[in-house]
Structure formats: structure tokens, C-alpha cells
Chain A
Amino acid sequence: MGVDIRVENLNAWYGTTQSLWDINLNIPANKATALIGPSGCGKSTFVRCLNRMHETNPIARAEGVVRMGDIDIYKDASPVEIRRRIGMVFQRPNPFPTMSIYDNVASGLKLNGFRKKRVLDEVVEKSLKSAALWEEVKDSLHKKSGASLSGGQQQRLCIARALAVDPEVLLMDEPASALDPVSTAKIEDLIFKLKSQYTIVIVTHNMQQAARVAENTGFFLTGKLVEFAPTTKIFTNPSDKRTEDYITGRFG
């Protein structure tokens, strides 16, 4: 089951450039939350702060409090422990090219020392089914590499890989922006199904996508969270003028 995430006064920097300013946000459990905003507004930086991927960039740093359930992810745990609980799917599909489909899905578990073959088989099948990829790859699990799949299949493989470690939160950084409309629709269906079991945070450029999949939507602009509200309110009756300008296409 998913957990909620509470962010208090989060600031983030790349070198000396501040890219997030005092973000306060509560992301409810077992719901999909969309983050929208123009390019460079900090929404990707924000999700990368949630699983401490931000700090893998040597010049980047973040300050503030991020609570997942009852732990403070910057104080109570190491980045490795956090990332085992928070799965992430990136903008460009990044399966491991030298591993088979099976090994890609199992990689998170094997990495953490899990070796029981029978359980692994079950987890791989279940994850690929959750990611709606099982039917397409079940006959070539060991024969084909992760890189031999199409772009849309690779992205679903990456989702399966993230789901295999049974995360509590799933972060998706523009998961469909490199995909064609059919694959995008499949990913959106998937998010719709998955959000009952996981807390999902999805960054997107596509406002229709946010409207279709997310209960709540946050609008970022120049590193600040302008508005965070139920999706229907954001898209029909935004309280901030800048949000209204953005969603009606007047800028951005």
C-alpha cells in the first residue's frame, strides 16, 4: 500500500542557482498527483528530491523536510533505503541493455540479494502483468534483451522493474513524453489501475494527461509551487491568475 508524502519548506539548488523555492505540499496516499508547469519550472527537480536522486548530481543539493509516512527521508534513512521504497520511472526508457527482459524486471530484487528463483518468477510475472507487458513478452523473457523492445514496451518494462520491488510510492518523470499516442494511452491506463495500490506522482507536460489520471494537480512556475488543488478545480476554476493563464495556453 502507498503512503503519503509531506513536503515542508523544500529548497533545491544546482550549484549556485536555486531551482526550488520553499515548496510546501502534501501528496495523499494511494492517489495520483500530477505536477504541471512549463519547462525548467522545477517539477522534475522536485520529484527527484522526493527519492533523493537530486543529490546524485555532484553540484546539486536540497534543504527542507520530506516525510514519507512517518520517516523524514533526509534524516532517518540513507538514500539507498529511500530509493528501495520509492520507485522511479524516467522520461526516456532506460532498461539495462545487457540484461534479458526477465533480469531487467528482477534486477531490483537481485540487487538487494534476493535469490529465491520460484518467488522471483512469480514477481516477474506479476510485475509484467501489472505493467500490461506480460502478454507481449511472456515467450521471450530470457531470449530478448531489454533494449530489443519498442520504446513504449521499454517504458512499460521500466515500470515493471520499478513495481517489482513493491514500492510504496511511484515517481514518474514525464513517463510518456517520448512515446507515441498508443503507448501513451497504455501508460495512462496503467497509472489509472496502479493508483489504488501505490502513491503516484507524475510530472507531465500534457495537461490532458494530468486531467485524465490525477486526483490532484500542482502547478509549478519558476521554481515555486503556484497552486495545488484537486485536478477538477485546477482545470475549471483555478484560484491563481498564473495557473489560469497557463492552462488556457496564454503562455508557457
Chain B
Amino acid sequence: MNEPNLISLPPTPVAQSVSPENPTGAPDLPPPAPSAIRKFLNSKSSGRVPDGAFRGLMFVCALSIFLIVLLILFVLISSSKLSIHTFGFKFFTGTTWDPVSGDFGALPFIYGTVVSSLLAVAMAVPLALLVAIFLLEICPQFLRGPISFLTELLAAIPSVVYGLWGVFVLVPIIRDQAGPVLEKYLGWTGFFVEPNFGVGMFAASVILAIMIFPVISSISRDVMRVVPPSQREAALALGATRWEMIRISILRNSRIGIVGSVILGLGRALGETLAVTMVIGNHPDIMKNLFAPAYTLSSVIANEFTEATGDLYLSALIEIGLALFLVTIVVNAIARLLVWAVTRNNSAVAH
């Protein structure tokens, strides 16, 4: 029935070749006309050129990160040359900040930045993790949406609003209500003693803790959410209580992501300027007492940059910026080192 068709088609040279399927070399049936899908796919290019171009573009973007960091470092160093030459390394260990006599030391600011940020992280992390766990494991469905929405809303509030809230709500509370209680029960540690004006290191840390809480909470929640259900079942089937299940299958499996969220929060705390400036008291002292006023690297730049008279003063402020840059790098490096030290002996964390 197909014969007339066969004859009318031109003979194909391939059909004559000997192949494993056709060892006699007898004429094969002509191949059927390619389908529309096959024709379409065959007409597509190999993609080598666009893939290559895209790869190049991504490479340039990735390299630009190095370039930006180096440029910032270069600008900071070149603009603070005068201060670097005048004080040398003593700039980072000096404790006086006296624009009038031209004596500049950054240690109180470094201390203020590092301590306020670490305290903020110490306060925010437990709270953020508990909220994340609550939302994932315990919270009734109808409350889940509102709570996570409000958590994320906290991240969207401008820092000046936090500062205002700090000045008008938080500072009076610390001065009049929380302060006396803390002093009564924790005064013996030396961290909470009079005089307490409300503004100071403690107020700044609390504000920072509230500000970084949403970042830590929502990222660690996302990390915990992707722990496979089979891991929960593994723990539950062994007779784990809910808390034990959370500990061994959820927190343990997501710990690297949680540390990542803490590092992000820490980064935000280190660089936060305005809200801190409004509540920290702006006094460059290194005091054990957390009620005492302090100062941070970013606050001093914000406060004094516009009124910096003289080249040395300006140069010293820019070197403060350099110090902030270095502090951020060092703190991040230490955090990553800690993660590495904890997970090093555990081949388990390979993925």
C-alpha cells in the first residue's frame, strides 16, 4: 500500500549503508519526515554564544565586588592619611578624643560599637529563635500570618523612628522602671549601677536588639522551614518530645543558616547610626557600667562630620570610618571562624 510513495521519494544514500540493524545492506525505508517539534528544536542554536556572554557578564559583576571594596578602602586610607601619619597605630588604642587640642583616639568608639552590637545580638538571638520556632511549630494557623507580618514590618521601620521611640519611650522606662530593678538584682555585677540617666549603652543595645530581631527571626525561620519532614519524623519516632524534636532535628540541621542570620544581624547592628546616636548618650568613655553614656564609631561620624574644623579633625573622622570598616571585617571573620571551629570536626556538615 505504501509502494507508490516509496518509489516517488528520492533515494537516500544513508539507506544503502550496512548497519547492525540492517546487516544485508538492503535498502532501508526512507526516514519519516521530521516532526514539527523536531524541526523547531533542530533550528535552535547551541546556545554557546549567549551562554558565554552571560557567563562573562556574571564574572564582571562578581569581580566588581572586589573592586568596590578595594575602592572604599583606598578612599578611606587616602583621605585619612594625615591622621594616620600623625597618630599611627596609637589612633586605635588612644582613649582621648579632644578636637580642641587635636588629640584623637578611637578606642572608646570601637568599644562602644562592638559592645553595643554584641549585647544587641545576645538579647535578640534567643528572642528571634523562640519566635521563629513558635511560628513554625506551635503557633495556631490564624495567628501565623499576623505575627510574621508584624515581624517583617519591624524591619521596615526607619531607624529615626526607632530613635524617637527610644528617646520618648525606652529611655524613660530604663531610667524610671527597669533601671532600679536591674540595679537592685544585678547591681552587684557592676554592669548596672547609678547614675542612670536612661540614655547610655544599655538603651542603645536594646534599640539595636529590636532592630536586628526581625532579620534574625525571619531568616532563621526560612532556614528551619526547609528541614525535611522526614527529619522531624525520625526524632518523633524515637520518642522525642516536641522540644527534643526541635533541638535535634530542626535547630541542629539548620544551625549554619541560623549563624548566617546572626552574622547578618550583627552586621546591621555594627553599622546602625541614627537610632543609636539618639539614645547612647554620645560620650566617649569606656565604662563597665552599662547605664553610662557611650559612643559608637558611626555616631561620632554622624554627629561631628559637619562641624569638623581643620584638616586633622576631618582626617581623624575619616579614619574612624576606616576603623568601622575594619571592625566589621574582624567581627565577621571571628564569627565565621567560630562556625568553622564548631563544624570542622563534623564531616556531617559537608552539605
* A145 and B244 within 8 A (CB): no
Contacts A97-B351, A98-B255, A112-B239; is A90 near B234 (CB within 8 Å)?
Answer: yes
Contacts A94-B231, A144-B347, A145-B346; is A53 near B236 (CB within 8 Å)?
Answer: yes
Contacts A94-B230, A94-B233; is A100 near B348 (CB within 8 Å)?
Answer: yes
Residue of A nearest to B232 (CB): A56
Which of chain A's residues have a CB closer than 8 A to the CB of B248? 96, 107, 111
- In the assembled complex, the Cα of A94 lies from the Cα of B231 at a distance in Å of 6
Contacts A98-B348, A100-B348, A145-B350; is A88 near B237 (CB within 8 Å)?
Answer: yes
- In the assembled complex, the Cα of A144 lies from the Cα of B347 at a distance in Å of 6
Q: Tell me if A146 is interfacial: C-beta within 8 Å of chain B.
A: yes
The one of A51, A85, A97, A165 that contacts B253, using a Cβ cutoff of 8 Å: A97
The one of A83, A97, A145, A148 that contacts B238, using a Cβ cutoff of 8 Å: A83
Q: Tell me if B241 is interfacial: C-beta within 8 Å of chain A.
A: yes
Q: Tell me if A108 is interfacial: C-beta within 8 Å of chain B.
A: yes
Q: Tell me if A143 is interfacial: C-beta within 8 Å of chain B.
A: yes
* A53 and B346 within 8 A (CB): no
Query: DSSP majority for the B interface?
Result: helix
The one of B230, B237, B240, B346 that contacts A87, using a Cβ cutoff of 8 Å: B237
Which of chain A's residues have a CB closer than 8 A to the CB of B240? 80, 83, 111
Closest chain-A Cβ to B79's Cβ sits at a distance in Å of 47
Q: Tell me if B252 is interfacial: C-beta within 8 Å of chain A.
A: yes
Which of chain B's residues have a CB closer than 8 A to the CB of A145? 346-350
Q: Tell me if B205 is interfacial: C-beta within 8 Å of chain A.
A: no
* A83 and B347 within 8 A (CB): no
Which of chain B's residues have a CB closer than 8 A to the CB of A87? 237-238
Q: Chain A: how many interface residues by the 8 Å CB criterion?
A: 34
* B239 and A80 within 8 A (CB): yes
Q: Tell me if B249 is interfacial: C-beta within 8 Å of chain A.
A: yes
The interface bits of chain A over 74-99 (1 if a CB of B lies within 8 angstroms of the residue's CB, else 0) are: 00000111011101101010111111
Closest chain-A Cβ to B310's Cβ sits at a distance in Å of 57
* B238 and A107 within 8 A (CB): yes
Closest chain-B Cβ to A224's Cβ sits at a distance in Å of 26
Closest chain-B Cβ to A57's Cβ sits at a distance in Å of 9
- In the assembled complex, the Cα of A88 lies from the Cα of B238 at a distance in Å of 8
- In the assembled complex, the Cα of A48 lies from the Cα of B21 at a distance in Å of 53
Closest chain-A Cβ to B185's Cβ sits at a distance in Å of 32
The interface bits of chain B over 59-83 (1 if a CB of A lies within 8 angstroms of the residue's CB, else 0) are: 0000000000000000000000000
Closest chain-B Cβ to A71's Cβ sits at a distance in Å of 15
Which of chain A's residues have a CB closer than 8 A to the CB of B350? 145, 147-148
* B349 and A98 within 8 A (CB): yes
Residue of B nearest to A109 (CB): B238
Residue of A nearest to B252 (CB): A98
Closest chain-B Cβ to A45's Cβ sits at a distance in Å of 14
Q: Tell me if A161 is interfacial: C-beta within 8 Å of chain B.
A: yes
- Chain A residues packing against B (C-beta within 8 Å): 51, 53, 56, 79-81, 83-85, 87-88, 90, 92, 94-100, 107-108, 111-112, 143-148, 158, 161-162, 165
- Chain B residues packing against A (C-beta within 8 Å): 228, 230-241, 244, 248-249, 252-253, 255, 346-351
* A-B contacts, 26 listed (Cβ < 8 Å): A56-B232, A56-B236, A79-B236, A80-B239, A81-B239, A84-B239, A87-B237, A88-B233, A90-B234, A92-B230, A94-B230, A96-B248, A97-B351, A100-B348, A107-B235, A111-B240, A111-B244, A111-B248, A112-B239, A144-B347, A145-B350, A146-B348, A148-B350, A161-B238, A162-B237, A165-B239
Given contacts A56-B233, A108-B238, A161-B234, 7 further A-B contacts (CB under 8 A): A56-B232, A81-B239, A83-B237, A94-B228, A98-B255, A107-B248, A108-B239
